[in-house]
Chains A and B, each alone.
Chain A
Amino acid sequence: EDQVTQSPEALRLQEGESSSLNCSYTVSGLRGLFWYRQDPGKGPEFLFTLYSAGEEKEKERLKATLTKKESFLHITAPKPEDSATYLCAVQANSGGYQKVTFGIGTKLQVIP
């Protein structure tokens, strides 16, 4: 069974204090790993797709990386507007089942 574990569950940072969020996964044949941002009371917003180990993607202060067992979302010099819950999800090459398995998320709070 595909599994996604995110850590930490919650993270509190001072503005400008860089850090990383972790997403470890167990899946038989990774088709893709996805990062989403979710603000309170809203739907998830797509950030990145990573397909293979060694791949990296960047967007503003966010950088996502992928290894064979985990992914990191690095946040450089965060601002209060980066406060949100960050979700990781994986999709496996499991026949015709188009399933995406989500983690519970990391709730990030950036304090001015």
Chain B
Amino acid sequence: NAGVTQTPKFQVLKTGQSMTLQCAQDMNHEYMSWYRQDPGMGLRLIHYSVGAGITDQGEVPNGYNVSRSTTEDFPLRLLSAAPSQTSVYFCASSYLRTGGEQYFGPGTRLTVT
């Protein structure tokens, strides 16, 4: 099993550009989530999904969109990048629909200039 995979590993965007961070898992997990990790702030939940076709907002959803058309994939879209979105982004999945025990991907380091 590859577990949770994320692409790209690094990305630099200019303010106003849009892009999609990819996330896939091969563990048949229903629950998937996106977090951002910033120095001194810990991991913060952006969006999560409890199954295909079902998504919901987390703690910091503004400026981000998600969709879940398959169990395996959960892409995160930045609509119009801002410097405040410079961060490390992690995708995670869980076999629990409550999202308790989560398995994280390797992360995407995003810089917005």
Q: A residues near B, CB below 8 A?
A: 4, 31-32, 34, 36, 41-46, 49, 87, 89, 91, 97-100, 102-105
Contacts and interface: CB of A to CB of B under 8 A. Distances in A.
Secondary structure call for the A interface: strand
B43 A87 contact: yes
Nearest 7 interchain pairs by C-beta: A43-B104, A102-B43, A102-B42, A98-B99, A104-B42, A32-B100, A44-B104
B99 A91 contact: yes
Interface hub of B35, B43, B48, B99 (most chain A Cβ within 10 A): B43
| B-side interface size class | 20 to 34
Nearest to A47: B101
A34 to B, nearest CB: 7
Contacts of B99: 91, 98, 100
B74 interface: no
